[in-house]
Amino acid sequence: MKQIQKNTVYLQVSNKMRLINTHLLKLKAMRKLTFILVIMIASLTACDQGNGELIGVQGRPEFYQPVPYGMLLIPQGSYTMGNTDQDVPGARTSKTKVVSVAPFYMDQTEITNNEYRQFVHWVRDSIARKILAEEISEEEYLFTVNAYGEDIEPPILNWDAEIDWHGMEEREALEPMYLPDYERFYGARQIDTRKLNYEYFWIDYKQAAARANREQGQIDRSIFIKNDIINVYPDTLAWVHDFSYSFNEPMTNAYFWHPAYDDYPVVGVTWKQARAFAIWRTNLLNTFLRQRGMTDVQYFRLPTESEWEYAARGGLDNNQYPWGGPYIRNTAGCFLGNFKPLRGNYVDDGGFYTVKSYAYNPNDYGLFCMAGNAAEWTSNAYDEAAYDFAHDLNPDYTYDAKDSDPPSLKRKVIRGGSWKDVAYYLHNGTRTFEYQDTAKCYIGFRNVMSYLGRPENNEEL
């Protein structure tokens, strides 16, 4: 009996040992297989060849389109571009045409005085840093420059903390940035805004895509890189020179710099200044992203005429105004935009000049003041017949006018109407123009950015 019990115990121990050995063998096999797989993956990743298989370039970072601050996504779509009401002046400049527009981001409001002031201060500070670095050779004033000579690190300068105003060397070095003594009003020491010049660059893709340039083979690509130097300070005198026999001097004195107008749309900005702002804004954001090892985003720019009208309609086709209906008042009798509602009665809509950029209700895309307040620059050149020859896929007509060109070639499309315009210019389909080198106290702008990748909320595509 004892022998049987011993044999039973022995068999149980033997079975357990067999199970353990089996598990060990399986574990060794799994480790071996895992090791082989790791070696294979490493070899595939290292040489990007995939053992002869097409696997694409490995190790690419994933990209998710970040929503730019202050912008809203305008989804892709098709709409009827052009007048939805009678052509009051008989201009025949906006026929109806069905077009399609790709998705893009758009500023929720017009660019404000305070936002544009950030650009002006950046230019001011970069000039000051260069002067200090060159004149007194202080390393803390130096900053990185890219291949085009542009500053790629924000040269924000704390004028109170970083500059030794008691030291004659720094004070004398920066003195040329200020108005000379004989130009000062009551001796006020102010920055000479005529010296706030910004050099910027862009690529002429249309010229690069021309067949003659593509067929030449090894062509010097630098000829497609364009540059310009522009003074960035708004024309504050526009409030005076735009009107005869009208007292607007207080707006000239205070509108751009006073905190009371920080959230009002910037005006007195030329088309070229608006383009320069978009390029600066692009470099500002991409510099921030590169410093953190992140991928660049698409560039900021002025909207095309078709993008602007599509966004203004707010997803409603054939609507006369951004708010949808054919009427410019709501059911309570209140005006829905800032314009010139009656003869000489500028205040009936709640404004006088411009109002805050987020005044009145937004349209169905969430965009404020797409009609009235400040008219807005677009990227397009103005041609009366543009609707006849422009493509129906992202319509776009541009012409980079030179200073020597006649005025007719310097016309740029403006949209939306302004605080001093009658209701006709607030229509979604109404188009008019202004010259690219002129600044008006009723024209501002907003930026857009093309959307990269699959449109949001369209996962089925």
Q: Between β-strands 375-381 and 443-444, what pairing exists: parallel, antiparallel or unpaired?
A: parallel
Q: What share of the chain is helix, strand, coil (3-state, %, to 5)?
A: 35, 15, 50
Of the listed ranges 2-16, 229-243, 426-440, the least confidently predicted one is 2-16
pLDDT over 60 at 244, yes or no: yes
- Rounded to the nearest angstrom, the gap between the alpha carbon of residue 158 and the centroid of all alpha carbons in its chain is 26
CA 353 vs CA 140, 340, 356, 372, 439: distances in Å: 44, 10, 10, 11, 16
Counting beta carbons within 10 angstroms of the beta carbon of residue 102, is it exposed (0 to 12), middle (13 to 18) or buried (19 or more)? middle
Q: Are both 41 and 107 inside the same structural domain? A: no
Q: Are both 82 and 48 inside the same structural domain? A: no
pLDDT over 80 at 157, yes or no: no
Q: Are both 129 and 44 inside the same structural domain? A: no
222 compared with 33, residue with greater pLDDT: 222
pLDDT over 70 at 46, yes or no: no
Q: Where are the beta strands (DSSP E) in 16-93?
A: 71-74, 77-81
- Give a yes or no: residue 328 inside a domain: yes
pLDDT value at residue 288: 87
pLDDT over 60 at 223, yes or no: yes
- Give a yes or no: residue 239 inside a domain: yes
When mean pLDDT is compared over 126-130, 159-163, 252-256, the highest value belongs to: 252-256
pLDDT value at residue 333: 84
Q: Are both 17 and 117 inside the same structural domain? A: no
Q: Are both 24 and 139 inside the same structural domain? A: no
Residue with tokens 């740029």, as numbered in its chain: 412
DSSP-assigned states of every residue in 222-262:
GGGEEEEEEE-S--TTHHHHTSSS---HHHHHHTTTSGGGT
Q: What are phi and psi of 420, to 5 degrees?
A: -105, 5
55 compared with 302, residue with greater pLDDT: 302
Of the listed ranges 141-150, 159-168, 279-288, 365-374, the least confidently predicted one is 141-150
Give the bridge partners for 81, in sequence order. Answer: 97
DSSP-assigned states of every residue in 86-155:
--TT-------EEEEE--EEEESSPPBHHHHHHHHHHHHHHHHHHHHHHHH--GGG---B-TTS-B-S--
pLDDT value at residue 34: 54
Of the listed ranges 41-45, 288-292, 410-414, the least confidently predicted one is 41-45
Residues 6+ apart with CB under 8 A from 147: none
Residue with tokens 């921030």, as numbered in its chain: 288
Q: Which domain holds residue 6?
A: 2-52
- Give a yes or no: residue 298 inside a domain: yes
**What token pair was written down for 176?**
């040329």
- What gap in Å lies between CA 127 and CA 129, rounded to an integer? 5
Q: Are both 87 and 46 inside the same structural domain? A: no
- Buried b / exposed e over 358-367, threshold 16 CB at 10 Å, is ebbebbebeb
- Give a yes or no: residue 57 inside a domain: no
Q: Between β-strands 71-74 and 104-107, what pairing exists: parallel, antiparallel or unpaired?
A: antiparallel
- Give a yes or no: residue 388 inside a domain: yes
Residue with tokens 């954001």, as numbered in its chain: 285
Residue with tokens 């804004």, as numbered in its chain: 281
Per the prediction, the chain carries an average pLDDT of 83
Q: Are both 345 and 277 inside the same structural domain? A: yes
- Give a yes or no: residue 299 inside a domain: yes
Percent of the chain whose predicted confidence (pLDDT) is above 90? 50
Residue with tokens 């002031």, as numbered in its chain: 117
CA 237 vs CA 41, 194, 434: distances in Å: 67, 13, 17
- Domain tally, the chain: 2
- What gap in Å lies between CA 219 and CA 208, rounded to an integer? 10
DSSP-assigned states of every residue in 395-418:
--------TTS-GGGGEEEEES--
- What gap in Å lies between CA 349 and CA 3, rounded to an integer? 110
Q: Which amino acid is at 414?
A: I
Question: In which band, very low, low, confident or very high, does the pLDDT at 179 lie, cut at 50, 70 and 90?
Answer: very high
pLDDT over 70 at 20, yes or no: no
Question: In which band, very low, low, confident or very high, does the pLDDT at 7 lie, cut at 50, 70 and 90?
Answer: very low
pLDDT over 50 at 441, yes or no: yes
Q: Are both 48 and 92 inside the same structural domain? A: no
- Give a yes or no: residue 457 inside a domain: no
Residues 6+ apart with CB under 8 A from 267: 234, 238, 255, 354, 374, 439, 440, 441, 442, 443, 444
Question: In which band, very low, low, confident or very high, does the pLDDT at 154 lie, cut at 50, 70 and 90?
Answer: very low
Give the bridge partners for 338, in sequence order. Answer: 372
pLDDT over 90 at 153, yes or no: no
Specify the DSSP element, H or E, that contains 205. Answer: helix 205-209
94 compared with 328, residue with greater pLDDT: 328
Of the listed ranges 54-68, 91-105, 147-161, 291-305, the least confidently predicted one is 147-161
pLDDT over 60 at 38, yes or no: no
Q: How many C-beta atoms surround the C-beta of residue 57 within 10 A? A: 6
pLDDT over 50 at 5, yes or no: no
Q: How many C-beta atoms surround the C-beta of residue 456 within 10 A? A: 12
Question: In which band, very low, low, confident or very high, does the pLDDT at 268 lie, cut at 50, 70 and 90?
Answer: very high
pLDDT value at residue 127: 87
- Give a yes or no: residue 210 inside a domain: yes
Q: Are both 95 and 31 inside the same structural domain? A: no
Q: Are both 173 and 229 inside the same structural domain? A: yes
Question: In which band, very low, low, confident or very high, does the pLDDT at 409 lie, cut at 50, 70 and 90?
Answer: very high
**What token pair was written down for 336?**
């829905």
Question: In which band, very low, low, confident or very high, does the pLDDT at 1 lie, cut at 50, 70 and 90?
Answer: very low
- What gap in Å lies between CA 372 and CA 423, rounded to an integer? 9
Q: Are both 332 and 406 inside the same structural domain? A: yes
Q: Are both 222 and 166 inside the same structural domain? A: yes
- What gap in Å lies between CA 156 and CA 292, rounded to an integer? 19
Q: What is the CATH number of the domain that holds 442?
A: 3.90.1580.10
Mean per-residue pLDDT for 217-223? 79
82 compared with 112, residue with greater pLDDT: 112
Over the stretch 271-309, which tens digit does the pLDDT of each residue have?
A: 999 999 999 999 999 888 888 888 888 999 999 999 999
When mean pLDDT is compared over 122-126, 313-317, 333-337, 432-436, the highest value belongs to: 432-436
Question: In which band, very low, low, confident or very high, does the pLDDT at 429 lie, cut at 50, 70 and 90?
Answer: very high
**What token pair was written down for 162?**
């970083």
**What token pair was written down for 451?**
């959307």
Mean per-residue pLDDT for 320-329? 89
Of the listed ranges 59-73, 127-141, 142-156, 159-173, the least confidently predicted one is 142-156
Specify the DSSP element, H or E, that contains 202. Answer: strand 197-203
